[in-house]
Amino acid sequence: MTKKKVLMDMLWFVLKIMLVIVLVLIAFIVGAMVGYGVLGDGEPAGVFDPAIWENIFSYFKTPVIK
């Protein structure tokens, strides 16, 4: 394999990895908006409110059984 072919293969691999990461982020954002807006009866854009995420993460930080 030539050096150019190796570089093109590496570039293509990196671009595919970046595409997968972007698609996963988009799926997470759309899923959070649908879950909060449709299932949670809230405003879909409200999922981006930091107070909502603080409330969600508080369930993981505090013990449930005391």
What are the tokens at 55? 């409330």
How many Å apart are CA 22 and CA 51, to the nearest integer? 25
Report helix, strand or coil for 62.
coil
- Could you tell me if residue 1 is inside a domain? no
Confidence class for position 64, pLDDT limits 50, 70, 90: low
- Could you tell me if residue 6 is inside a domain? no
Q: Considering its fold, how many domains does the chain have in total?
A: 1
Neighbours of 47 (CB within 10 A): 19
How many Å apart are CA 26 and CA 22, to the nearest integer? 6
Q: What's the pLDDT tens digit per position in 2-55?
A: 999 999 999 999 999 999 999 999 999 999 999 888 888 888 888 899 998 898
- Could you tell me if residue 43 is inside a domain? yes
| pTM of the model as a whole | 0.71
- Could you tell me if residue 15 is inside a domain? no
